[in-house]
Structure 1
């Protein structure tokens, strides 16, 4: 039960697909290692990607973008779509379906009980696929065979349907609410989801967003005085910053009331202790210009909601887009908020994921939150790329903040803030702290059955290989320091995964035995239960393979590798000039 004074929210699952990272584990490896995942194209590469020579050779063209591999591809059958339907679906919707599936699996909730109310709160950007690929394309109308009426496309084309599409595909019956506030959409979604949980409007909530800023993903046109970088490099808070670089991606987190998560034995990455959302109003130089007062107020409100002192924070994941005006206003606002409670200097690290992957627009906030949750979880503060010295309009020396360029251990209390600001003035700030130490318990049974299922035989083999790598201790991942018992793994697979038609089961006494059997499945061989395995475990495995179910038994839900989507190309090529990010 929730105590009267417990208004904290647990992060029990997370997932993302962002430039340079196929999942959250890859993102964590990249940020720890200081990898710049913004892709920069040579002239030959840009031409090969279909950019006309006159565009490539134009002095205003900057061949850089946060490229997302596999943007054209989707596992349509798994989500119940025909090929022609999938080809008309906004790729932002497709990305969000995937990360929602993964995040729920990561939380051990891939199979949701009918009595559990799961809410979905999410936002996405403008549907550029509709604008640049479908509208006016003769391949799409009745003659092309993809649709009989343009109105047939609308349900797959609007941001309104992003959360409801996920709710329908995954059978989630809580509130499904679209959040649209530009770059702050996904972090505002997190705030709304957390509040919905506190108001007992749902039992679990998925929050996040997706963004496809460009379907061509090769570059943009630089305009003097605009917000895009002249050199294709995002340098948050730096003296040489000239603007931002955009990227494509998606992310989602799964939230639950902390007391419920503890009672249910969930794996908790971190805790959301406070949050706030506001708007700058008219107290700024223009509609597209951020406001110091509004940004300062949203940080102060979040701190007050959590009853935290500014001295409590060791890290702030800033909005940090790399624009001189925006970064200067953000530093000023943060400093004002902190100066109401402390006069200390240089004690709080400041960073921005945008230096690694670019600005992910509607997905930027949740991506920054995922980075911060993993930093708090692992006790590591990743460095920010491309920073050498502060911009002349950014006063760091006299303030509470220091931009860290190297990855370092987290000393002191693991408490952090995450900011995301949207064009138009909607600001969000979320406070994150270390999860409580889980209660110890004895979950070491002598034998375990690990049930696997997938939509295809190929996916089943890949799933087995991924689980084997995970149990064998694949280095550098988001869960590399975890040491789950085999009982926990078996329990999570039994109660936290969907039942799909292609099945296999592994009977094992210890991790080494399980890894060997999983490797056999990955190689397409049927694993033989150990001769000494008790008959009841052999029977359970056989029953699972035959289409039956398994009892959950004892154990805790723990993070395991996500489903290996079998993506194929579902894409309608554009007509006319390639769409560049600068045309947004």
Structure 2
């Protein structure tokens, strides 16, 4: 099963993104070419305990991260106050994805549903809790992001966190597809989240040790003006089932994942932090071959598209080399990246692209 991945259906979706209170808002953002990067509101400055007299960098941040219906999940107010907002948001999005697929939360209880999430440390525990406790520890462990969903919704599949930098949530989808094909799960919740509570929003130059943050706070992907990434927050989940099971159960199907592939640059890049066109070419070809797909039939290519002077040319080269192995046709497949609208969402970047 590791070589040939059978088709997987996306039957439920949920998400919160800059400028998008619900998943339905994404169509409006992309269709109208909306820039979701904005100055900090007074409310967000207050929540982050920032100096109100300073001028801050524009960021694609989420509104309403402080709200949570703890009664709904049978969580005490005391415990909820100690929970990383990432845990709270993912709990809500898990419920939305399951219900979006047409299943009640009651019917999902006891099911062999896996949870695989990409995430990073939001630093909520370090910077915003005044005292430690058992509630605070459990509410802020990175690995309990998945465990909390399994516990509250009584889901019995594997629950795990993956950290592979910007590809974390996309790798979570990859892992979920493998688990479904291996028969280890009947359904899988996969995705990721990025909420950031530590960044020095008044002086990114001081913390930009890699030299990749745009001084204009805008990501100009595949543009001659491209000068780096900008920061953002977001979260998204997909509920996955084996395609034949989704057909059997008469599920509504948003999209079908025909194959997945994953690899590593190894020593093929100029540095540990740099990408490799050869590795990107290799992983695309592997995915196409698994799906028995003719690349000439591809209608759109959603790229990582960091907007950096090193990343974009390498990515375009990798894509071009992959297509050239199959066709001499040119300019038949559009390419784009959501980062021009909603920023670089870190651990949620990959799932955001899937949902787009």
Q: Provide the TM-score with structure 2 as the length reference.
A: 0.91
Question: How far apart in 2 are the matches of 1:215 and 1:224?
Answer: 16
Distance 2:302 2:45 in 1: 36
1:55 Cα deviation (Å)?
Answer: 4.8
Partner of 1:69: 63
The 1-side partners of 2:353 and 2:202 are apart by 23
Instruction: Work out the CA distance in 1 between the residues paired with 2:14 and 2:90.
Output: 10
1:119 matches 2:140: no
Aligned residue among 153, 159, 166 for 1:170: 153
SS in 2 for 1:363: helix
Structure 2 equivalent of residue 247 of structure 1:
232
* Corresponding position of 1:339: 324
Unaligned regions of 5+ residues in structure 1, if any?
57-61, 142-146, 372-584
Q: Does 1:161 align with 2:160?
A: no
Aligned length: 349
Indicate which of 314, 337, 341 corresponds to 1:356. 341
Equivalent-residue separation in structure 1 for 2:11 and 2:46 (angstroms)? 43
Instruction: Kindly state the Cα deviation for residue 162 of structure 1 after the two structures are TM-superposed.
Output: 1.4
**1:207 and 2:190 are equivalent in the alignment:** yes
**Distance across 1 between alignment mates of 2:89 and 2:198:** 13
Aligned to 1:110: 104
Which residues in structure 2 correspond to 1:153-302 (within 5 Å)?
Answer: 153-214=136-197, 221-222=204-205, 223=208, 226-302=211-287
Distance 1:115 1:320, change over 3 A: same
Q: CA deviation at 1:14?
A: 0.3
Matched position secondary structure for 2:279:
helix
Q: Any idea what SS the aligned residue of 1:71 has?
A: coil
Q: Deviations over 1:60-82 (max 9, x none)?
A: xx621111000112111112221
Contact 1:67 1:218 in 2 (8 A): no
Residues 314 and 220 of structure 1: CA distance in aligned 2, closer, same or farther (over 3 Å)? farther
2:290 corresponds to: 305
Q: How does 1:458-537 map to 2 (within 5 A)?
A: none
CA distance in 1, matches of 2:25, 2:18: 10
Shift in Å at residue 216 of structure 1?
7.4
Report what 1:38 is aligned to.
37
The structure showing larger relative contact order (alpha-carbon pairs under 8 Å, at least 6 residues apart) is 2
Aligned partner of 1:10 in structure 2 is 9
Structure 1 or 2: more strand by fraction: 1
RMSD over aligned Cα, in angstroms? 2.3
Shift in CA distance, 192/221, structure 1 to aligned 2, threshold 3 Å: same
Deviations 1:103-135 (A, max 9, x none): 00100123335563111111211132122213x
Query: Residues 19, 164 of structure 1: CA spacing in aligned structure 2 closer, same or farther, 3 A cutoff?
Result: same
Other structure's SS at 1:284 match: coil
Structure (1 or 2) with the larger CA radius of gyration: 1
TM-score scaled to structure 1, two decimals? Answer: 0.57
Query: Is the partner of 1:324 in helix, strand or coil?
Result: coil
Comparing 109-118 and 188-197, the one that deviates more: 109-118
Three-state SS of the structure 2 residue aligned to 1:276 is coil
Alignment-derived partner of residue 51 in structure 2: 52
Matches within 5 A, 1:17-32: 17-32=16-31
Mapped partners of 1:119, 1:288: distance in 2:
31
Q: Is structure 2 residue 321 aligned with structure 1 residue 322?
A: no
Structure 1 position 97, deviation (Å) = 0.9
Is the alpha carbon distance of 1:342 and 1:199 closer, same or farther for their aligned partners in structure 2, counting shifts above 3 Å? same
Deviation of the 1:37 alpha carbon? 0.9
Per-residue deviation, 1:45: 9.3
